[in-house]
Structure 1
C-alpha cells in the first residue's frame, strides 16, 4: 500500500466541472479493518475534506505487467483452480471466482488534442472495483500490456472498459467504451473489440485488444444468482432524455395556448364585444370564481384562479 491521491471537483449551474483542490493519504499508516476519521486540508485551495476510511483486504484485486501474469504460472493457476473447484463449493460463498484481464493495446483512436494525438488510458470497472492503466502520451495506437485481476462476486456482472484522454486538470475526454458480460468470456482468447459510444448503441472509433481468463465455482455462482445484487457506489449522472424533453416542450406549448385563450376571453368580456357573454360572465362571477385553470407542468401543478 502507498499514497492515495484525492481530487475534489465542483460542478456549476452550467454543468461545467472544475477541480477545487487535492490532498493525499498515506494508506500504509492506517490500521486495517478499522474506521479512520480523517480531516485533510486541501493543498491547492482553502478548505478541508472530512472523510471516513476503512481498509479491508480484498483478495484478487491486482495490477501487474505481462511478465508477472498470475494465471500464466502453471502452479499458481492450479492453486487458484483448486480454490474454486466443486469440493470447495460451500467455503466463503461470496468468493465466486476470479477474472484476469490483459489490456494489450488499442488502435486508431480518436484524436482528442489539437496536435492530432491523444493521451489515452483505460479504466476497467467490474461492480464496485475500478482499476486503470497508466497514460501513454501523444499516441493513437497505445500499447499498455497490463494485467488486471478482479474477484468475481456475481457471474452476471458486466466488465466495462472505457478509454479516456487525459486532459491535465480538466475531466478526461471520452474516447470509447466496451461492455463484456462475464458469461460471454472465452478463456485465453485475444479479441479485438470495436469501441462504442457512451450508451453502447453505436460504434465509435478505434479497436481495443483484450485477453481474458475466468475461473469460477458454478455452485457459488448459481446461489449468488438468487441474492440481491451489490449496490453500485458510483452512479452515472442522470442523462437527458430526448423523449421526455419533447413531451415537456409539448406540454409547455399547450399550457401557453390555454392561458393565452383565457386572457383573450377575459379581454373580450371587459371590452363588451358580446353583450350577452359579458353579462353572464359578470353575473356568474358574483357567486363563484369566473374561471379556474389547472395546468400540469413537469412534475408540479399550476393553479390560475380568475
Structure 2
C-alpha cells in the first residue's frame, strides 16, 4: 500500500479525507462538520483505507465513537485503537449546540411563526454583528413540488426524491412513488457559512438497492434569492448547461448579518468534504415535524495521526 485515507460515517452523512502517502505516522489534520441529532443516531463509524499503485483499495482498520457519551462544548481528545490492525487514530471531537439545521412539514415552518421570525431576525441584526462570528445567518427552503419529470421506470413513472446540498450540509426529502408530478411540501433550514455559497437541489429516482437515477438539477446562488417568493426552476442536466426535463417549485427565505458575511468573505472558503456518493437514504424523512433545539448538535471532527 502506497497511500492512505480515512472515511467517516454518521447516520447518512459520509466524509472522506484527502489521500496521503503511507507512513508510520500519517497526519491528515483535517476538519469535518457533521449534524448530530441525539434522538436519531449516535455512532461515528471510522475506517482507515490503503490504496496501492494500481488503485486497489483495502480496508486497514476500523473504530467507532459513541457520540452520545461525549460532553458538550469542549474538545474531546480521543485515542482510538484500530480493530484488525496495529495502531490508533488520534481525534478531536467537539459537540456544539446548533439551531441551524432542520426538516419539517409546512405546517410547522419555523419562519411562518411571526414571533420566531422576529427572534431569528434579531439574532442577525447589525447590533449583534460582533457576536458569534461564524453564525452568519440561516436559509429556509420550501420544497413544494416538481412537474413533468422524466419517466425513469418501465411503468412510465418515477419514484422521485430531492437532495439539497449547501456546502457540506446535505438533506433530502422522502420518496413519492410512481409519480411524475410529486408534491413534497417540506421545509429545510440550513446555517449559512458563506454568503457566496450555491444551493444545489437535485431530483433523483429511487431505484431499490441500485444507485438512484438522475432526474434533473438546479443551482441557486444565495445572493440571488428573493425572500418569500415561490419560484419555478427548470431542471437542468448534471453540468447545468442544458435544460433536462420538468421543473421544480421552491420558496426560499434568507436571513443573515451583512457584516459577518462580509468578514467571512475574506476567510478561506470551506472545503467540500462530503463524499460524492449516490447511495443515499430514501426511506423516510430525516426528521419529520422536528424543530431544532438542544438535541441538534454540530459535530466538529478533527483527526491527526495513526501512530
Common fold: TM-score over 0.5: yes
Normalised to the residue count of structure 1, the TM-score between the two structures is 0.64
C-alpha deviation, 1:154, in angstroms: 0.7
User: Bigger CA drift: 78-87 or 12-21?
Assistant: 12-21
Partner SS for 1:5: strand
Residue 128 and residue 252 in structure 1: after superposition, are their counterparts in 2 closer, same or farther (change >3 A)?
closer
Residue 35 and residue 213 in structure 1: after superposition, are their counterparts in 2 closer, same or farther (change >3 A)?
same
Q: Residue 123 of structure 1 contacts residue 133 of structure 1 at CA under 8 Å; is this kept in 2?
A: yes
Compare CA radii of gyration and give the structure with the larger one. Answer: 1
Normalised to the residue count of structure 2, the TM-score between the two structures is 0.63
Residue 304 and residue 127 in structure 1: after superposition, are their counterparts in 2 closer, same or farther (change >3 A)?
closer
Q: Residue 118 of structure 1 contacts residue 137 of structure 1 at CA under 8 Å; is this kept in 2?
A: yes
Residue 106 and residue 242 in structure 1: after superposition, are their counterparts in 2 closer, same or farther (change >3 A)?
closer
Residue 19 and residue 165 in structure 1: after superposition, are their counterparts in 2 closer, same or farther (change >3 A)?
farther
Whole-Å separation in 1 of the counterparts to 2:205 and 2:58: 17
* Larger helix percent: 1
Cα RMSD for the two superposed structures: 11.8
Q: Map Cα deviations across residues 146-167 of structure 1 (whole Å, 9 max, x no partner).
A: 0000011111000000011111
User: Bigger CA drift: 50-59 or 193-202?
Assistant: 50-59
Residue 108 and residue 131 in structure 1: after superposition, are their counterparts in 2 closer, same or farther (change >3 A)?
same
User: Bigger CA drift: 40-49 or 100-109?
Assistant: 40-49
Whole-Å separation in 2 of the counterparts to 1:59 and 1:252: 14
Residue 85 and residue 305 in structure 1: after superposition, are their counterparts in 2 closer, same or farther (change >3 A)?
closer
Whole-Å separation in 2 of the counterparts to 1:148 and 1:13: 43
Partner SS for 1:220: helix
C-alpha deviation, 1:168, in angstroms: 1.3
Residue 168 and residue 250 in structure 1: after superposition, are their counterparts in 2 closer, same or farther (change >3 A)?
closer
C-alpha deviation, 1:12, in angstroms: 14
Any gaps of 5 or more consecutive residues in structure 2? 1-40, 289-298
